[in-house]
Amino acid sequence: MAESPGDPSAGRVAVELRGITKRFPGVVANSDIHLRVDRGTIHAIVGENGAGKSTLMKILYGMYRPDEGEILIDGKTSTLHTPQQAIAAGIGMVHQHFMLADNLTVLENVVLGAEKVAGIGGRAADRIREISAQYGLGVDPGPLMEELGVGARQRVEIVKVLYRGANILILDEPTAVLVPQEVDELFGNLRQLTRDGLTIIFISHKLHEVLSVADAITVIRRGTTVASVKPGDVTARELATLMVGSELPSPETRESTVTDEVVLDVRDLSVYTDTGRTIIDDVSLRIRRGEVLGIAGVEGNGQAELVEAIMGMRASTGTVTLDDADITTWGTRQRRVKGIGYIPEDRHRHGLLLDAPLWENRILGHQTEPPNSNGFLITSGAARRDTERIVAAYDVRTPGIEVSAGALSGGNQQKLIVGREMSHEPKVLIAAHPTRGVDVGAQAAIWDHIRAARRAGMGVLLISADLDELIGLSDTLQVIYRGRFVATVDPAAVTPEQLGLAMTGATDDPVHAGPSLEKSLEKKTEGEQA
Ligand SMILES: Nc1ncnc2c1ncn2[C@@H]1O[C@H](COP(=O)(O)OP(=O)(O)OP(=O)(O)O)[C@@H](O)[C@H]1O
C-alpha cells in the first residue's frame, strides 16, 4: 500500500512493519509487531532473550515468511520471501558471526556472490575504495582477511552489504565482539552512514550503548512491540524495566574467596599452527580454589587457542595439572570427567547439537557422568528430569525439553549450556564469553551462579569481551596480546577504557603495567624449590 498523500511522514519512513506475526511449533515468536524506522536514523531493537528480535530481523531480511502482516519499504508494500528479494529492496544484514573467508582477500570476500551487481577485478576494487572513502570505513581491498582484526573485519562486512546496494542495514549485536575503542569507531561509522541518508537497525543487549548511539529505540517483549522511546527520555534502568521487568544488574564482586590451593596449573604452554607459526607463546597460569582469573584481549590474540589447549582439543607443548593430576596427555572427555567445565566460545560448533532435543544436549559432553549415566548405560529418564531442573533454574525459555536446541533463541541456548556445565560442579570452569547474547536479567543470574560456585571453591578461567564483566568478576586479570601475557592488571583499580587500551598492546600506562604473572610464578616456583 502506498502512503496516503499529505502524510507528513511521506518519504521519511524507510521501514514500516504492520501487524507482523510469526508462529513456530508451540511458540508465537512475533505477535502483531508494529515498527516504524525513519530514514537516516539509527534504530535500536531491545528485548529479553527469546523476545523475538532475531525472528523479526530474519523476516525483514527475507529468511522467514511472516504468517500475517505487511512490510513497507519506503512506503511501498514489499514481498521479502528470500534474502535476494530483501537485497533487491535495499536491505543488508551484517551478521554477528562474520561470514568471511579467512584465506581470501578483502576484495574477494566483498565480491563473492555479487559479481553480477558490480563486476569483478579492478572495477570492484575501485568501488570498494570509493565506498570506504565515502563513509570513512578505512577498508583496503588488498589484504587477506586473516591479517585483519575484529573491528576491521566488521567494517569489511559493512562494505560488503553496501557494495550490494544496501541502504537499510541490519546489525545483530554488532558490539559484542568489540573493545571500547572499536565500539566508539563503529558508532562513528554508523553515524556517518546515517548522515548520508542510510538507515541502521541494530539489535543490542547493551543498554548504555543503545542509549548513546540510537535515535530511536523499540522494545520487544514476549513477541510484541511494547514501547517506542527516544534515548533522551529514558534511563538504562527504565529501559531494562521495560524489557525484563527487573533492574540493571552489576557484575561487581566485592568479597574475595581466593584460597591458597592451586586447582589448575598451566606451565609453559605453547601452541603452533600447522605451518609452525606460534599462536600461544610460552604462557603459564595458575588458578586457585575460589579464584576467577580473567583474560582480557582483543579477539584473535590466542585466547581461543589457549582455552582449546587447556581442554585438550588442540595440540600444545607445556604441562597442565588439575588438582594433583598431570592431565597434559589426557583427552577432552577425561578432562571433563576429572572436573573441568567448559562454556565454549562458539556454542554452535562446540556447545550444542542444534538438531537434537534439549535433554540430549543436557547429556552432551557428560555421557558417562550421573545423572546421565549409571556407569554402563545412558539413563535418559534422569537426564530428562535434570534438564527440566536446568530449564527452571536457569530460566531457559522453551515450550519443553523435547524441542531441538536450534529452536531456542541464542540467549536461551547459552543459558542451557551454562546450566549444563555448572550442574557437574566442576573444580575448574573454563568460561569463554559466558553471558554473550544473554539479556540483562539472565546475565545477572549467570553471574550469581558463577559467584556462588566460586564461593564453594570453584576456580574459573574467564574470557570475555565484556570488560565490565571481566573487571567485575575477576580476582586477577591478565592481558593477552599476540599469544603472550603482556600485563597483569588489578581489577579493583582499572577502568574499562584503560583495560581496552592495554588490550591493544599499549604498555606505558601505570595502571596496567606490572610484573607479569609468569615472572611472579617463576619467583614463587624458585621459592618453593629452595
Ligand atoms: N527456527 C525456530 N523454530 C522454532 N522456534 C523458534 C525458531 N526460531 C526462534 N524460535 C522461537 O521464537 C522465539 C523468539 O526467538 P528469537 O530468536 O527471535 O528471540 P531473540 O529476541 O532474538 O532472543 P535472543 O536475545 O536470545 O537472541 C523463541 O521462543 C524461540 O525459541
Query: How far, in Å, from the CA of 409 to the mean position of ligand 1?
Result: 4
68-115 pLDDT, tens digit each = 999 999 999 999 999 999 999 999 999 766 677 777 888 888 877 665
Is 221 within 8 Å of 211 (Cβ atoms)?
Answer: no
What DSSP letter does each residue of 109-172 carry, written as one string?
HHHTT-HHHH-STHHHHHHHHHHHHHHT----SSSBGGGS-HHHHHHHHHHHHHHTT-SEEEEE
Separation of alpha carbons 293 and 305, rounded Å: 17
Mention every residue, 6+ apart, whose C-beta is less than 8 A from residue 135: 158, 162, 189, 192, 193, 196
Which ligand 1 atom sits closest to the C-alpha of 205? 25
From 63, 226, 408, give the residue whose CB has the most ligand 1 atoms within 8 Å, as the site to mutate: 408
| 8-state DSSP, 489 | E
Residue 118 has pLDDT above 70, yes or no: no
Q: Which residue, 271, 282, 330, 335, is CA-closest to 305?
A: 271
Q: Report the range of poorest mean pLDDT among 176-185, 240-249, 338-347.
A: 240-249
The closest residue, in CA terms, to atom 13 on ligand 1 is 29
Ligand 1 contacts CB of residue 361 (under 6 A): no
The strand pairing partners of 37, in sequence order, are 15
pLDDT of res. 73: 96
Evaluate whether residue 451 is within a structural domain: no
Residue 507 has pLDDT above 80, yes or no: no
Residue 480 has pLDDT above 80, yes or no: yes
Residues 287 and 372 in one domain: no
Domain count, the chain: 3
pLDDT band per the 50, 70, 90 thresholds, residue 4: very low
Evaluate whether residue 252 is within a structural domain: no
Residues 67 and 153 in one domain: yes
Q: Report the range of poorest mean pLDDT among 438-442, 487-491, 509-513.
A: 509-513
Separation of alpha carbons 492 and 435, rounded Å: 21
Residue 175 in 3-state DSSP? coil
Q: Give, in degrees to the nearest 5, the angle at Cα 67 between 61 and 70.
A: 60
The closest residue, in CA terms, to atom 27 on ligand 1 is 410
CB-neighbour burial class of residue 276 (10 A; exposed 0-12, middle 13-18, buried 19+): exposed
Could you identify the residue written with the cell 563486476?
Answer: 119
Ligand 1 contacts CB of residue 50 (under 6 A): yes
Is 43 within 8 Å of 214 (Cβ atoms)?
Answer: yes
pLDDT of res. 145: 84
The closest residue, in CA terms, to atom 25 on ligand 1 is 49
Residue 332 has pLDDT above 70, yes or no: yes
Q: What angle, 0 to 180 degrees and rounded to 10, lies between the N-to-C axes of helices 380-393 and 410-423? A: 120
Query: How far, in Å, from the CA of 378 to the mean position of ligand 1?
Result: 30
Last residue of a domain, one of 198, 220, 244: 244
Q: Are strands 168-172 and 13-24 parallel, antiparallel or unpaired?
A: unpaired
| 8-state DSSP, 349 | I
Is 447 within 8 Å of 373 (Cβ atoms)?
Answer: no
pLDDT greater at residue 112 or residue 8? 112
pLDDT of res. 510: 39
Evaluate whether residue 251 is within a structural domain: no
Ligand 1 contacts CB of residue 409 (under 6 A): yes
pLDDT-above-90 percentage for the chain:
54
Is 200 within 8 Å of 43 (Cβ atoms)?
Answer: yes
Residue 93 in 3-state DSSP? strand
The strand pairing partners of 15, in sequence order, are 37, 73
Query: How far, in Å, from the CA of 412 to the mean position of ligand 1?
Result: 9
pLDDT of res. 512: 40
User: Whole-structure pTM over 0.90, yes or no?
Assistant: no
Residue 344 amino acid letter: P
Separation of alpha carbons 258 and 252, rounded Å: 16
Evaluate whether residue 1 is within a structural domain: no
Residue 290 in 3-state DSSP? coil
pLDDT-above-70 percentage for the chain:
89
Is 201 within 8 Å of 37 (Cβ atoms)?
Answer: yes
C-alpha cell at 463: 574470557
Ligand 1 contacts CB of residue 410 (under 6 A): yes
pLDDT band per the 50, 70, 90 thresholds, residue 515: very low
Residue 527 amino acid letter: G
What would the mean pLDDT of 427-444 be, rounded to a whole number? 89
Which ligand 1 atom sits closest to the C-alpha of 408? 31
The closest residue, in CA terms, to atom 14 on ligand 1 is 52
Residues 128 and 215 in one domain: yes
Residues 379 and 316 in one domain: no
Q: Phi and psi dihedrals of 28, rounded to 5?
A: -100, 105
Mention every residue, 6+ apart, whose C-beta is less than 8 A from residue 27: 399, 407
Which ligand 1 atom sits closest to the C-alpha of 409? 17
| 8-state DSSP, 314 | S
Query: How far, in Å, from the CA of 148 to the mean position of ligand 1?
Result: 32
Which ligand 1 atom sits closest to the C-alpha of 51? 21
The strand pairing partners of 38, in sequence order, are 13
pLDDT of res. 375: 74
Query: How far, in Å, from the CA of 336 to the mean position of ligand 1?
Result: 30
355-382 pLDDT, tens digit each = 999 999 988 877 777 788 777 777 788 8
Ligand 1 contacts CB of residue 55 (under 6 A): yes
pLDDT of res. 254: 57
Q: Phi and psi dihedrals of 297, rounded to 5?
A: -175, 150
Alpha carbon of residue 287 to chain centroid: 25
Residues 227 and 141 in one domain: yes
| 8-state DSSP, 350 | I
Ligand 1 contacts CB of residue 453 (under 6 A): no
Ligand 1 contacts CB of residue 498 (under 6 A): no
Residue 326 in 3-state DSSP? strand
As a whole number, the mean pLDDT across the chain is: 86
Residues 239 and 277 in one domain: no
Residue 506 has pLDDT above 70, yes or no: no
137-172 pLDDT, tens digit each = 989 998 988 888 778 888 999 999 999 999 999 999
pLDDT greater at residue 516 or residue 261? 261
Residues 54 and 200 in one domain: yes
Residue 96 in 3-state DSSP? coil
Report ipTM for this prediction. Answer: 0.98
Evaluate whether residue 253 is within a structural domain: no
Which ligand 1 atom sits closest to the C-alpha of 412? 26
Ligand 1 contacts CB of residue 53 (under 6 A): yes
Domain containing 326 equals 259-339+428-444+458-530
Residues 123 and 214 in one domain: yes
Instruction: Give the CATH number for residue 289.
Output: 3.40.50.300
Residues 220 and 301 in one domain: no
Residue 522 has pLDDT above 60, yes or no: no
pLDDT greater at residue 354 or residue 114? 354
Q: Report the range of poorest mean pLDDT among 220-234, 439-453, 499-513.
A: 499-513
Residues 387 and 433 in one domain: no
Residue 296 has pLDDT above 90, yes or no: yes
Residues 131 and 172 in one domain: yes
- How many Å is the Cα radius of gyration of the chain? 24
Q: Report the range of poorest mean pLDDT among 109-123, 299-313, 407-421, 492-506.
A: 109-123
User: What is the helix, strand, coil percentage profile of the chain, to 5?
Assistant: 35, 25, 40
Residue 420 in 3-state DSSP? helix
Residue 29 in 3-state DSSP? strand
Query: How far, in Å, from the CA of 52 to the mean position of ligand 1?
Result: 6
Mention every residue, 6+ apart, whose C-beta is less than 8 A from residue 277: none
Separation of alpha carbons 514 and 511, rounded Å: 8
Q: Phi and psi dihedrals of 418, rounded to 5?
A: -60, -45
Evaluate whether residue 254 is within a structural domain: no
Residue 39 has pLDDT above 50, yes or no: yes
Ligand 1 contacts CB of residue 441 (under 6 A): no
Evaluate whether residue 453 is within a structural domain: no
Last residue of a domain, one of 211, 244, 277: 244
Separation of alpha carbons 220 and 129, rounded Å: 38
pLDDT band per the 50, 70, 90 thresholds, residue 7: very low
Query: How far, in Å, from the CA of 131 to the mean position of ligand 1?
Result: 34
Query: How far, in Å, from the CA of 512 to the mean position of ligand 1?
Result: 41
End-to-end CA distance of the chain: 84
Evaluate whether residue 269 is within a structural domain: yes
pLDDT of res. 509: 44
Residues 372 and 330 in one domain: no
Edge to edge, what strands does the sheet with 91-94 contain? 91-94, 168-172, 199-203, 42-46, 216-221, 224-229
pLDDT band per the 50, 70, 90 thresholds, residue 229: very high
Q: Are strands 317-322 and 262-272 parallel, antiparallel or unpaired?
A: antiparallel
Last residue of a domain, one of 244, 271, 293: 244
